[in-house]
Chains A and B, each alone.
Chain A
Amino acid sequence: MVGKVVLVTGVARQLAGRFVRRVQREPEVGRVIAVDAVPPEHDLGDAEFVRADIRQPMIGKILAQHSVDTVVHLDVSGTALGAGGRTQAKETNVIGTMQLLGACQKAPTVRRLVVKSTTSVYGSAPRDAAVFTETTPVKSLPSGGFAKDAVEVEGYVRGFARRRPDVAVAVLRFANILGPRADTPLAEYFDLPILPTVFGYDPRLQFVHEDDVEGVLLVATLEARRGTLNSGTFNIAGDGVLLLSQTARRLGKPTVPVFLPAVTWVGQMLRTAGVTDFSREQIRLLTHGRVVDTRQMRETLGYRPAYSTDETFCDFARSRGPGLLPPDRMARAVDRLAGVLPAAVREAGGADARDGAGAVRS
């Protein structure tokens, strides 16, 4: 029997490119068709690259021609590649998904569909529960931006699942993706030399590592392992939570609290200056934070992330240079302060610091 034929969209992006290179090494995968409107700059290995825009009906022909049985839709992202901006991104997200799903519905060979989504479909509001599960009713739907695209994409995917009950559909809601090669808006935010924050709010953040994105996509794409089910909607995030203030300290970057009414204005200024895309949903994330429950991912999907939120952030921070206030220098400053105090404190302090450092690092 010939192996699976996997079609991956949006391969011009780093993450999708990595997934393409990874999935073709699987023994049950026969061929990998990589699709994007722009030729990728990175190597795709043995995958066949087909230059096609998923907003065009051409995608249906590709599905039929290669008798694709697994579609991995990764062309859902917050920023457009190259020029075009927000309108372009929205077009690709929403119209692209509609076209692709329409084509899938007509293609009898398709057996499995994996869609990349985001936890921002939950929005973030002070009235929301602290931890979102996959079934939490959302109190305030995102009003625009990428989050709204994702909500719409998920709506179309649900419609598709209804019309083609024979296709196994997995929707993966990823938390903020970080890692050494991440190019998400949040990574850009963390690259700023001074981090603007919202005054009086310290949001809880969750991250998922690039390697785990690859790992979990693989689990969802291949046949389900015994005792697990890889169709349905799953929250994907690393264990644990970091506060924004904590991330800033670990990066060694000073923060500038801005009053909430002025935040939009500062965001616009930064966007005009081209520093970073400070969208409204990102401001909401950085105000109220967002934490999702990952029990379904562990128990039903059977995936255990290799990196916790903490480790993901450490890996990300290592890949970026030190900030203006590197944590080790701050720690040395405290030690020096301890040094000017009498000997008894120094001893007790040394022991305590050793104990404390050991406890936290382990």
Chain B
Amino acid sequence: MTDAKVIPFDEDSRARRGAGRSRARAKTAKSANAAGTAKGPKTPAKPPRSPQASPATGAAAEHGGLASVPEAGAAGEAEPAAGIPAQAAASRDAGGQEARTEPSQGREDAAGAAGGAEEGADLTEPVAPSLGAALTGVADRLLGGHWERKVASGLAFLRRRVTGDYEVDEFGYDADLTDQVLMSLLRPLFDTYFRVEVKGIENIPAEGGALVVCNHSGTLPMDGLMAQVAVHDHHPAGRHLRLLAADLVFMLPLVNELARKAGHTLACSEDAQMLLERGEVVGVMPEGFKGLGKPFSERYKLQRFGRGGFVATALKTGVPIIPCSVVGAEEIYPMIGNSRTAARMLGVPYFPLTPTFPWLGPLGLVPLPTKWTIQFGTPIPTDTYPAEAAEDPMLVFNLTDQVRETIQHTLYELLVQRRSVFF
């Protein structure tokens, strides 16, 4: 498969803009690719949402793949300049490979796979009128290659939302909303603003439960959200980090609603245990408010790790503990003071005073654009201990310390490697 050259789709759509004829062909290539994605042995593609829908989709995709052979050949004779038949063939051969080499694109393809496949299957697309073609061209230029698929999936999403046709789990996790909206809202912050560098994501197992233990800092719990985006966007198996949050989160209106829908739940052993038993990746910040609201002078000094309840829960469920170190979150809101009076009045654990907040009002809420690194460390197995290990306080304390030390050392290492706070 060495000849399988990866050609991004953007080129595809750019070439398509030339003639109306080539559109069907480009689609065919796309559908062939979709077939490859669907059939590829180890694709990062999410499985189809329903088991009943999948056979039909698969069949359609197969048709698309077969149909593309003569069509691509014919188009190649008509337009030798574009060099697309080779691409169609290549993408057909290397569909699986391509999906692996381009994880993000692969995922997007999978989302639209059904659409592409069905289009390819019937091949009865009428030639678009000239106005439509012009509009398509403009939109292509403005919104980038996949705009019609994006708009279509947006509309399908809207349709599901207005009719209430989506599912939430017992904890209120709304996967549809999280994938389509919440993650898209956080992604610019993750990619462009904090430029988060993710290391060691492969330490999170592809399946089964795992407990990710993170340091906590930054006055507002941005680090948790960024870790969630890191796991969601960078993990090859597309896993979701289910965060455990303080009860304050579930008391605030709007915040609790969004937190539940994003898959967070209350930091208590019952919820954590239930999630871990179901094989979810659970994220916990044992420092809690002590870590979140510590003064700027104590940055990167880990606070006490609670009472080690997270270790006991991991021992009970036998899941590995994955230490996670976040560098960069400490400096987003440098907390130089704490107004106890205001905190007491508002009923919150601390009221931060930063160089900008509350002096500049809402403008003071803009975090500093620091450069972040999130490092997931080597998993610490817990299934080697006997069943009653969770009841052994010494073992729990020792493991807690081990996790804490690991995170603290990784933090120091990352800090030494860091060139500057902002770059």
Contacts and interface: CB of A to CB of B under 8 A. Distances in A.
B53 interface: yes
Contacts of B125: 347
Interface stretch (A1-9, A168-176, A217-225, A332-340): A332-340
A345 B155 CA distance: 9
A334 B271 contact: no
A128 B50 contact: no
Given A347-B115, A351-B114, A330 B162 contact: yes
A315 interface: no
Contacts of A342: 128, 132, 135-136, 139, 148
Contacts of B298: none
B57 to A, nearest CB: 7
A342 B132 CA distance: 6
Interface in B1-58: 48-53, 56-57
A247 interface: yes
B162 A334 contact: yes
Contacts of A131: 170-171, 270-271, 274
Contacts of A245: 164
Interface string B177-214: 00000000000000000000000000000000000000
Contact of B256 (A126, A343, A344): A126
A43 to B, nearest CB: 37
Contacts of A198: 253
A180 interface: no
A241 B112 contact: no
Interface stretch (B261-269, B302-310, B357-365, B388-396): B261-269
A362 interface: yes
A337 B151 CA distance: 11
A319 interface: no
Interface in B136-180: 136, 139, 148-149, 151-153, 155-172, 174
B55 to A, nearest CB: 11
B389 to A, nearest CB: 22
Given A240-B167, A331-B159, A349-B152, A204 B251 contact: no
Given A131-B170, A327-B164, A362 B256 contact: no
B155 A362 contact: no
A226 interface: no
Contacts of B253: 198-201, 260
Nearest to A257: B253
A214 B413 CA distance: 63
B159 A204 contact: no
A242 interface: yes
A352 B256 contact: no
B115 A250 contact: no
Interface string A197-241: 011111010000000000000000000000000000000000011
A12 to B, nearest CB: 35
Contacts of B148: 342, 344-345, 348
A70 B268 CA distance: 40
B143 to A, nearest CB: 11
A129 B271 contact: yes
A352 B116 CA distance: 9
A41 interface: no
B114 A130 contact: no
Which has the most chain B C-beta neighbours within 10 Å: A131, A241, A356? A356
Chain A CB count within 10 A is highest, among B51, B114, B160, B170, for B170
Contact of A334 (B132, B153, B155): B155
A144 B265 CA distance: 27
A181 B271 CA distance: 35
B79 interface: no
B251 A126 contact: yes
A291 interface: yes
Given A327-B162, A342-B136, A349 B168 contact: no
B401 interface: no
B172 A349 contact: no
Contacts of B169: 241
B247 interface: yes
Contacts of A133: 270
B155 A243 contact: no
B289 interface: no
A336 to B, nearest CB: 11
B257 interface: yes
Nearest to A242: B168
B118 A335 contact: no
Most buried by A among B126, B159, B162, B261: B159
A163 interface: no
Contacts of A352: 112, 114-115, 152-153, 155-156
Q: Of B51, B56, B253, which is in contact with the most chain A CB atoms at under 10 Å from its CB?
A: B253
Contact of A359 (B48, B170, B247): B48
Most buried by A among B51, B256, B261, B265: B256
A136 B155 contact: no
A361 interface: yes
B78 interface: no
A354 B152 CA distance: 11
A201 B168 contact: no
Contacts of A127: 247, 250, 266
B149 A348 contact: yes
B316 interface: no
B92 interface: no
Contacts of B100: none
A-B pairs, top 5 by smallest CB distance, nearest first, are A200-B253, A249-B164, A348-B152, A359-B49, A351-B115
Interface of B: 48-53, 56-57, 112, 114-116, 118-119, 125-126, 128, 132, 135-136, 139, 148-149, 151-153, 155-172, 174, 247, 250-257, 260-261, 265-266, 268, 270-271, 274
20 contacts: A126-B247, A126-B266, A129-B271, A130-B274, A200-B256, A201-B256, A242-B168, A327-B165, A330-B162, A335-B159, A343-B126, A345-B152, A351-B118, A352-B156, A354-B114, A355-B156, A356-B157, A358-B53, A359-B49, A360-B49
Given A130-B271, A243-B174, A343-B126, 19 more contacts: A128-B266, A130-B171, A130-B172, A130-B266, A293-B170, A335-B159, A342-B135, A344-B128, A348-B153, A351-B114, A351-B152, A352-B114, A355-B115, A356-B157, A356-B160, A357-B165, A358-B52, A358-B56, A360-B167
